[in-house]
Amino acid sequence: MKPSVIMSVTAMQTSTDQRNPAVSVTVITAGGAQGIGSAYESYSTSDYRPKYLYDHTERYHGNGVTTAAGIIEKIVAPALIGLDAARQGEVDHAIKTSLAEAGFPAYVNLSAPVSVAALKAGSAALGIPLYRHIGGQSAFTLPVGGYLAASGSKRYGDGERSEGRPVYNLVSFGFDSFEEAHYALWETANAYEKLLAKEAGLLVHRGFSLAVPRGRLESDRSLLDIMTKSIEAAGHGGKIGIHIDVGANEFYDAQAELYRGLFDTEEKTGTQMVSLYKELVEAYPIVMLQDPLQQHDTAGFAELTASTGIQIVGGDLFGTDVARIKSCIMAGCVNSALLPVCGFETFSDVIQMVRFVKSHGADVMLQDLSGEGLDIADFSVGFRAGTVYQGGLDPVGNRLISTEKLIGPRARFYGIRGLQGSKFCLRQSVK
Amino acid sequence: MSGSTIKRVFAQQIMGRKYPAISATVITENGTMTSAVCTAGVSVGTHEVTFTYDGGKKWHGMGVMNAVNQVNEIIAPALVGLSSVDQFLIDHTMLSIGGNDPSKKMGGNALAAVSAAVLKAGAASMGIPIYRHMGGSDAVVLPAAAYGVVGGSNRYDRMHEAGAKPTYAFIAHDFSSFSEASYALWEAVNDWQTFMQRKYGLSPLRSSEAATTTGFVYVPPRIVDREQQLWEMMCECIARTGYEGRIGIQVDLAADCFYDKEKQLYMNLFCAGGMNRDEVIGTVKEMADKYQFVSVEDPLHEDDFEGHAMMVDAVDIQIVGDDLFTTDVRRVSEGIKVGAANCILLKVNQIGTITQALEMIQLAYENGYGVMPCSSRGEGVEICDYSVGINAGTIREAGLGSGGSRFLEIEKELGSSAVYAGTRGLKGRRFQQGEKGAKA
């Protein structure tokens, strides 16, 4: 029997560092290879977020997933035994068919963790790294990563959700290798932490995100100033830039049609937000804006994408809703799509999405949102994504450093070409 | 030691299309044995990488025993013990031989044959298909199916040798699967061949060693006065079979073969007489607007980057560069900077190693260019695996016959995850509607 043939599929409820528990699935093959996949729901106010099956009992505020684990073992597992884990399309087809035949609608926590577990078991059975199982010999690029400089808080308002956003990351692109970019990031992070203490009296504990308390800053421009100064102080002007994951949904009051408590105390309309971004992009080395507007302002997104020349990432804008992602990409709302792998039904659906996005001139960005963990490093390399969410001075960054070594002397760090937008284009005159 | 570790590498001289070819074989620890061939090119661009030939009188100087010896004496010892699965490491090792001394570098044909044999060995030793070894689980796209319909040159100048160009093919793009497209292609090609047989007594080239020239009907002089008459007939055939707008025409003009550098004119390309650059651009525009052309390759001479950029501005279909780019990273970069053409012809063996090919493809893709694989240096039917491995949107003629069959197999194997590139597989504004905010 081929060593990659699936012998067992088991599922259980596990804990996560978010509020909701995860469904965790283990796939074991004939050759003894093992793959673990998990999926859980992270906080999101996107109308396009995926659906999860919950226990609705008292435990975990109703969000337990033991029912989901049970269904996987009873319905999905028997359909997979005997299949080749290395043939993802076949495995995913079997997952979907078994659930559909049993009458279950598309809950991602019934399918995604199984699909990812099979993917990883397949890669282990072939004895090749995960990134290569995904992208084959074509997987030799390293994405641009970033260091988490500051996260959000309810610093300018009361009633808003915030949920840790906006998140500010320093992204390092102007270097020849991921390792060099990584070291420059370390230098800049040191300069930033020093400056932040000196100018704003704020202390950063490396590895923990800095949530700035109320009353310390007049506006987030102070943060942008400090970041820009630290990039210069470290001697990396033009080589390190700023990525803002705005999460504008969290600050939007749909009834009043106003953004509240975002960047400063002033209320802003959608039009004012667009002008503000245009001004900020001119004034600061901002290279990426993620969910800069609320999820229904597709026209605003398209305008920012067309006019700023930088990478505009959509996340809450379309969640994991395939039809919505397609229409937003077709309409030019964004030039980069955030793909939470474990938020799609199966890995094959992710592949189809990546194909669609890339064939429409845009790129994908991977983030650890719903159970992906460190594997976003391998997903990024496998899909040849130009950027990764954070993945700087963190465990994902370490995995990317070792991947760069593993690929060897011809590994290619994307550098500035990893960023979408006409500002970063090789083509000299963009019409 | 893993089963994919390389145990033995050797090469030999075999017969190619017209001249000898080099064949390399790789044997791995678990007993897998694979071979790959690199032949001399028929039309060789000025900017191609250097193949090693023996020179002298034998085989008109085109023997490859020196390249064979390079493999057996220098490359083989360097590769034994390495893992055949690590393509980048293998290729890097070969490319590093000789350091910075150009005279000690290995010939492009020696490198190409070994590199392709290693790729096959890596796939075979893991028990996975070549396309998946090359592109991983992400390799799911079947290219638009195309098949040759017209070849033969010297129609307007019998003194001139232009390597059988221009060559025309039908391309079945607007379909939802490869198998459906390939059947429509079969209908249209059959109609065409029957028509040419009945009307002019011309038969298609039945089989050839290079899969990409099978099926062509060679049209000799005095059948038509100008190419437009041929285009008219092709379009009528497409309309007759009911596939207007769904099957298009792709052509390799190889304009370099018709370019007179002194006069700065393209001689006897579309009809008797010369044409300047603007007139050629005008004619290509006519092909795209009045006829069913969807892809035009090498419409201008091989050093005219500016002209190829003007072409993309003027014409909204796929413009492919072959002699223009010669699958070379530096030339491709130069072209991208000015926006010359929008698709790059990929001759894997022309570039040398698989690694260099993948690097070139990455460069093309990240700048919004398409890549069109072509089998012309002995790649054989593996070109189909290469095509799926890199998710190419279009491919030179491989829609029926052995190439078509391989694609049908791959499509079946991929099952519900297979994606047919279809019309969107073609580059050019006409086919890329909705592509906004893109880099290129």
Q: CATH no. for residue A155? A: 3.20.20.120
B209 has catalytic annotation: yes
Query: Which residue of chain A has the CA closest to B425?
Result: A359
Query: Domain for residue B437, yes or no?
Result: no
**Residue B152 structure tokens:** 């033969």
Is B347 designated active site?
A: yes
Q: Which residues contact B340 (CB under 8 A, 6 or more apart)?
A: B305, B306, B307, B308, B309, B312, B321, B324, B334
The verdict on B89 touching A (C-beta cutoff 8 Å) is yes
Closest CA to B136 of A397, A115, A383, A50: A383
- What per-residue confidence (pLDDT) applies to A152? 81
- In tens, the pLDDT along B353-394 reads 999 999 999 999 999 999 999 987 777 889 999 999 999 999
From the list B126, B368, B419, which residue is nearest A352 (CB)? B419
Quote the CA–CA distance of B181 and A420 in Å, as a whole number.
34
B1 in any annotated domain: no
SS3 B197: helix
What is the mean predicted confidence (pLDDT) over B329-342?
95
Q: Is residue B439 part of a domain?
A: no
Q: Looking at the structure, tell me whether residues B75 and B48 fall in a common domain.
A: yes
**ipTM at complex level:** 0.89
Number of domains chain B contains: 2
Same-domain pairing of A224 and A104 = no
- Nearest residue in B to A312, CA atom: B437
Contacts with B379 (C-beta within 8 Å, 6 or more apart), sequence order = B116, B347, B348, B349, B386
Residue A224 pLDDT more than 90?
yes
Q: Which residues of A touch B119 (CB under 8 A)?
A: 137
Same domain membership, residue A190 and residue A218: yes
Domain that holds residue A47: 6-127
B163-188: pLDDT as tens digits: 678 999 999 999 999 999 999 999 99
Of A86, A417, A427, the CB nearest to B337: A427
Instruction: Quote the pTM value.
Output: 0.93
User: Which CATH number goes with the domain that contains B256?
Assistant: 3.20.20.120
Say whether pLDDT at B44 is over 60: no
Reading the block at residue B240, the tokens are: 């007759």
Catalytically annotated residue among B187, B209, B279, B334: B209
Q: Looking at the structure, tell me whether residues B267 and B381 fall in a common domain.
A: yes
Integer Cα distance of B113 and A182 in angstroms: 38
Confidence of residue B87 (pLDDT cuts 50, 70, 90): very high
Question: Tokens in use for A398?
Answer: 């370490």
Residues B287 and B407 in one domain: yes
Q: What is the pLDDT of residues A119-143, one digit of tens each?
A: 999 999 999 999 999 999 999 999 9
Beta strands in B332-379 (DSSP E): 343-346, 370-373
pLDDT of residue A429: 54
Q: Is the pLDDT of residue B437 over 60?
A: no
> Are A70 and A172 in the same domain?
no
Tokens of B187: 């209908």
How many H helices and E strands in chain B? 14, 16
How confident is the model over A402-428, as pLDDT tens digits? Answer: 999 999 999 999 999 999 999 999 887
Mean of per-residue pLDDT scores for chain B: 91
Is the confidence at residue B47, as pLDDT, over 60? no
What integer is the mean pLDDT of B73-87? Answer: 97
Q: Could you say which of B120, B165, B347, B427 is catalytic?
A: B347
Q: How many inter-chain contacts (A to B, CB under 8 Å) are there?
A: 169
Q: Are A286 and A367 in the same domain? A: yes
| Domain match, A80 and A159 both | no
> How far does the CA of residue A167 sit from the closest CA of chain B (Å)?
24
Chain A residues inside the 8 Å CB shell of B333: 426
Minimum-distance CB partner of A355 among B141, B339, B415: B141
Q: Is residue A1 part of a domain?
A: no
Is A127 in contact with B126 (Cβ distance < 8 A)?
yes
Reported as a pLDDT band with limits 50, 70 and 90, residue B1 is low
Residue A80 and residue A154 in one domain:
no
**In the prediction, which pLDDT does B435 show?**
47
What is the distance in angstroms between the Cα of A149 and the nearest Cα belonging to chain B? 28
User: Is the confidence at residue B153, as pLDDT, over 70?
Assistant: no
Query: How much is the pLDDT for B397?
Result: 87
Percent of chain A at pLDDT exceeding 90: 88
Q: What is the CATH number of the domain that holds A109?
A: 3.30.390.10
In a domain, A294, yes or no: yes
Interface membership of A322 toward B (CB under 8 Å): no
Whether A76 and A48 share a structural domain: yes
How many structural domains compose chain A? 2
Tell me whether residues A362 and B438 touch, CB distance under 8 A: yes
Q: What average pLDDT does chain A have?
A: 94
- Token code pair at residue A202: 């704020």
Where residue B440 falls among pLDDT bands split at 50, 70, 90? very low
Residue B160 pLDDT greater than 90, yes or no: no
Do both A226 and A345 map to the same domain? yes
Q: Say which residue the tokens 């002194």 belong to.
A: B262
One domain, residues B122 and B208: no
Tokens of A278: 């245009």
Residue B144 belongs to domain spanning: 136-431
Asked if B134 lies within 8 A of A312 by C-beta distance, the reply is no
Dump pLDDT digits (tens) for B186-208: 999 999 999 999 999 988 877 65
Q: Given B92, B140, B338, which is nearest A355 (Cβ)?
A: B140
Query: Which of A44-48, A67-71, B127-131, B339-343 shows the lowest per-residue confidence on average (mean pLDDT)?
Result: A44-48
Is B260 a domain residue?
yes
Burial B24-51 (b: 16+ CB within 10 A, else e): bbbbbbeebebbbbbbbbebebebbbeb
3-state secondary structure chain A: CCCCEEEEEEEEEECCCCCCCEEEEEEEECCCCEEEEEECCCCCCCCCCCCCCCCCCCHHHHCCCHHHHHHHHHHHHHHHCCCECCCHHHHHHHHHHHHHHCCCCCCHHHHHHHHHHHHHHHHHHHCCCHHHHHHHHHCCEECEEEEEEEECCCCCCCCCCCCCCCEEEEEECCCCCHHHHHHHHHHHHHHHHHHHHHHHCCCCCCCCCCECCCCCCCCCHHHHHHHHHHHHHCCCCCCEEEEEECCHHHHEECCCCEECCCCCCCCECHHHHHHHHHHHHHHCCEEEEECCCCCCCHHHHHHHHHHHCCEEEECCCCCCCHHHHHHHHHCCCCCEEEECHHHCCCHHHHHHHHHHHHHCCCEEEECCCCCCHHHHHHHHHHCCCCEEEEECCCHHHHHHHHHHHHHCCCCEECHHHHCCCHHHCCCCCCC
Question: Do the chains contact at B137 and A347, CB–CB below 8 Å?
Answer: yes
Q: How confident is the model at residue A430 (pLDDT cuts 50, 70, 90)?
A: very low
> Rg for chain B (alpha carbons), in Å?
21
List all residues of chain A from 286 to 315 with a beta carbon under 8 Å from chain B: 302, 305-306, 312
Q: Is residue B26 very low, low, confident or very high in pLDDT (cuts 50, 70, 90)?
A: very high
As to burial, measured by CB atoms within 10 angstroms (0-12 exposed, 13-18 middle, 19+ buried), residue A262 is buried
For chain B positions 398-417, those within 8 Å of chain A (CB to CB) are: 414-417
Chosen for mutation from A92, A93, A137 (greatest number of chain B CBs closer than 10 Å) is A137
pLDDT over 90 percentage in chain B: 74
- Alpha carbon distance B320, B311 (integer Å): 11
Q: pLDDT above 70 covers what percent of chain A?
A: 98
Q: Which residues of A touch B436 (CB under 8 A)?
A: 302, 305-306, 331-332, 361
